[in-house]
Amino acid sequence: MNRAIILSRQLSCSGQNWGMVGDIGEALVLSIAEGTRPDHWMCTVDGHVKFLACTPPFTPQHCNMSVQLDPVKDIATDRPLLMAETEKHGLSQDGPILQSSFQQDENSAEQASHSTNQTDSNLAMGNDHKKKLGVLWGSALMQLPLWGFNLSYGIFEEYWTSNWTLDGDLSITGTVGTTSNGVMYISMPFLFAIFTRYWAHHRLKAELGGLTIAFLGFILSSFSTHVWHLMVTQGVMAAFGCTLVYSPATCSLGEWYATGNRAIAYGIILSCRNIVGSVCPFLLRYLLDQYGFRWTIRIWGFILAGSGLLSIFLVPTHPSKTIAREGKPPRIPWTFLKHRGIYTYFVAVMVQSSGYCLPQTYLPTFAREFNGASQAISTLLLTLHNIPGILSCFFFGWLTDNKYHQFSATTITCLSAFASSASVLLLWGLSVDGSPALTLVFAIVFGFFAGGYSATWGGITKELEGEAEVHNETIDSSLTYGLLNGARGIGFVSGGLVSIPLLSSGDTGWGGRFGYGTKYGPLMVFTGIAVAFGGLGLIRATRIRPHKSSTSG
């Protein structure tokens, strides 16, 4: 039995074939069984996830972990712990790499087996690369069952205007889509926390259970006779089931790519979601025309079950999370709630989302009723609304993090918010009766600038991390990101509820022959103002700037 000691202020580990021997001051002592074959141990060092990676023959001499700590000494022999090869050659970018080794007197034997170990290590890296590629494919496929329906809901709203057969108020159907999005986003912060810190080893069960709930939700909705049946089955039941699949799978994706290329992986997945939103409107429109509402929903339920089941098994839980965690999980740092930053951006995201969700719900209906657009054009509007998001997500992410000039969170959020607001007020509101041209242009411009707003959250998170660093505090970036998702969910739900009285107010007449003169006029004004609130961080920046100048002087 060998021991490894790793110093840290806040460190906790989990994995196979190790146990906590005891605490010695601020040192966490791990015992590692000789000859065992662990792939990884996962450790959380000062709030950052690190991996204790092992190579054959899987003894403590062949395990290392990249940590942001000073070199420490073996408390048993008072010798410095050996550095890994990457540190010796100056290749480490994450700080010193501590090698868990106590007795290294037999270096000649280790050198003799170095070439064999290196070959085995390369094979292990190749297998790990294949697993990560499979995880990426599975996560990309998962966007179809989870987001295809929500991103295409405007097609159903437009279909029901001329094919309404259920009991209840037709205007309520618009809130089904926004409620579905809201339930998904509101659930994310809680589910992310649960499946990261507490029930990580139950992820597969949760995903299969969530897929079952979502499938039953859609199948039951196909038998709906009243509008509230749709709200319960599609807006709540199916939405929560999809979130129960999405949250643990996304946690696993981040862990598989924890050692590199995580931002690229997330960017690819986000782009795949927009691709799904561009293709599914045409698929669902075809099914509605051929088979009607009830069979379309049933077919979609089986599409969800088949693609969801395949994607779940392509995204396995990371080995570091497959066993139950012993002891208490690490404490969640809440100190960031003492500062204004999180509240400013929480309100900004919430209000922006209340306006962002409305065009994708009502654009097809507006184009049919006011612009005289055909079914093909009204369906194309949703595709044009989603396609630009493929590029804008990368664009706004690049503005935040590039080697030339990194723009602040205030700058990029204001660019997204004010440009999308202008597109609503100047393009959608001024669209002309009988001509869908300006509405098509609006769908593209709004889809680019408003669709890329969520990509600014990386910059927001970075700013909040800087705020915590100034106050010498710890912050969990995944927690803040989850809270922003929750804010978006609240915005979706509230936006859907507000849209009902806005539409029921009727034609105002003050907009003339433009879009403002239709029953959608109040909705357009609300949307334009709401998305502009996404730039609320500008107020925070103007307050901070004088304070900095005064202190420097």
Note if the bond before 281 is cis, omega within 30 degrees: no
Per-residue model confidence as pLDDT tens digits over 486-503: 899 999 989 988 998 998
The domain containing residue 367 runs over which residues?
A: 337-553
Mean pLDDT across 100-107? 41
Asked if residue 130 belongs to a domain, the reply is no
pLDDT at 272: 86
Per-residue model confidence as pLDDT tens digits over 133-182: 888 888 889 999 989 998 888 889 888 888 888 888 888 888 888 889 88
Say which CATH number the domain at 232 has: 1.20.1250.20
Instruction: Specify the residue for token string 């599914």.
Output: 280
Asked if residue 141 belongs to a domain, the reply is no
Asked if residue 376 belongs to a domain, the reply is yes
| Choice among 17-21, 111-115, 363-367, 481-485 with the minimum mean pLDDT | 17-21
Asked if residue 482 belongs to a domain, the reply is yes
Sheet with 27-32: strands ordered across: 2-7, 27-32, 18-24
- Highest mean pLDDT out of 213-217, 370-374, 400-404: 213-217
- Judgement on whether residues 414 and 302 belong to the same structural domain of the protein: no
pLDDT at 325: 59
**Is 80 exceeded by the pLDDT of residue 230?**
yes
- Highest mean pLDDT out of 175-184, 416-425, 497-506: 416-425
pLDDT at 320: 65
- Highest mean pLDDT out of 6-10, 84-88, 402-406, 440-444: 440-444
Per-residue pLDDT band at 262 (split at 50, 70, 90): low
Nearest to 284 by CA among 272, 274, 297: 297
Per-residue pLDDT band at 208 (split at 50, 70, 90): very high
**Is 90 exceeded by the pLDDT of residue 423?**
yes
pLDDT at 329: 63
| Choice among 102-106, 218-222, 540-544 with the minimum mean pLDDT | 102-106
Number of domains comprising the chain: 3
- Judgement on whether residues 268 and 177 belong to the same structural domain of the protein: yes
Higher pLDDT, 13 or 217: 217
Looking at the chain, the whole-number percentage of residues with pLDDT higher than 90 is: 25
- Judgement on whether residues 324 and 442 belong to the same structural domain of the protein: no
Asked if residue 147 belongs to a domain, the reply is no
Looking at the chain, the whole-number percentage of residues with pLDDT higher than 70 is: 68
| Choice among 71-80, 325-334, 416-425, 479-488 with the minimum mean pLDDT | 71-80
Give residues with Cβ within 8 angstroms of 196, minimum separation 6: 251, 478
Which one of 315, 330, 345 terminates a domain? Answer: 330
Per-residue pLDDT band at 53 (split at 50, 70, 90): very low
Q: Give buried/exposed letters for 101-122 (b at 16+ CB in 10 A, else e).
A: bbeeeeeeeeeeeeeeeeebee
Which one of 290, 306, 330 terminates a domain? Answer: 330
pLDDT at 511: 55
Burial of residue 202 (CB within 10 Å: 0-12, 13-18, 19+) is middle
Per-residue model confidence as pLDDT tens digits over 214-228: 999 999 999 999 999
Which one of 270, 303, 330 terminates a domain? Answer: 330
Asked if residue 134 belongs to a domain, the reply is no
Instruction: Specify the residue for token string 């799904």.
Output: 276
- Judgement on whether residues 504 and 374 belong to the same structural domain of the protein: yes
Tell me the C-alpha distance between 41 and 13, whole Å. Answer: 7
Specify which residues 65 forms β-bridges with: 52, 98
Per-residue pLDDT band at 188 (split at 50, 70, 90): confident
- Judgement on whether residues 491 and 373 belong to the same structural domain of the protein: yes
- Judgement on whether residues 87 and 227 belong to the same structural domain of the protein: no
Q: Residue type at 477?
A: S
**Is 50 exceeded by the pLDDT of residue 417?**
yes
Mean pLDDT across 236-263? 80
Higher pLDDT, 170 or 449: 449
- Judgement on whether residues 249 and 396 belong to the same structural domain of the protein: no
Per-residue pLDDT band at 321 (split at 50, 70, 90): low
Tell me the C-alpha distance between 165 and 102, whole Å. Answer: 75
- Judgement on whether residues 321 and 345 belong to the same structural domain of the protein: no
Asked if residue 126 belongs to a domain, the reply is no
**Is 50 exceeded by the pLDDT of residue 110?**
no
Higher pLDDT, 281 or 475: 281
**Is 70 exceeded by the pLDDT of residue 85?**
no
Tell me the C-alpha distance between 130 and 128, whole Å. Answer: 5
pLDDT at 450: 92
CB 348 within 8 A of CB 537: yes
Asked if residue 133 belongs to a domain, the reply is no
- Judgement on whether residues 321 and 399 belong to the same structural domain of the protein: no
- Judgement on whether residues 36 and 88 belong to the same structural domain of the protein: yes
- Judgement on whether residues 309 and 351 belong to the same structural domain of the protein: no
- Judgement on whether residues 376 and 494 belong to the same structural domain of the protein: yes
CB 188 within 8 A of CB 485: yes
| Choice among 59-73, 170-184, 319-333, 334-348 with the minimum mean pLDDT | 59-73
Specify which residues 15 forms β-bridges with: 41
**Is 60 exceeded by the pLDDT of residue 371?**
yes
Mean pLDDT across 457-477? 79
CB 87 within 8 A of CB 97: yes
pLDDT at 539: 81
pLDDT at 322: 63
**Is 70 exceeded by the pLDDT of residue 82?**
no
**Is 60 exceeded by the pLDDT of residue 409?**
yes
Tell me the C-alpha distance between 35 and 17, whole Å. Answer: 10
| Choice among 68-72, 146-150, 356-360, 511-515 with the minimum mean pLDDT | 68-72
pLDDT at 277: 87
Give residues with Cβ within 8 angstroms of 245, minimum separation 6: 142, 145, 146, 206, 207, 210, 211, 214, 308, 312
**Is 50 exceeded by the pLDDT of residue 71?**
no
Mean pLDDT across 307-328? 75
**Is 60 exceeded by the pLDDT of residue 63?**
no
Average pLDDT across the chain, whole number: 74
pLDDT at 12: 44
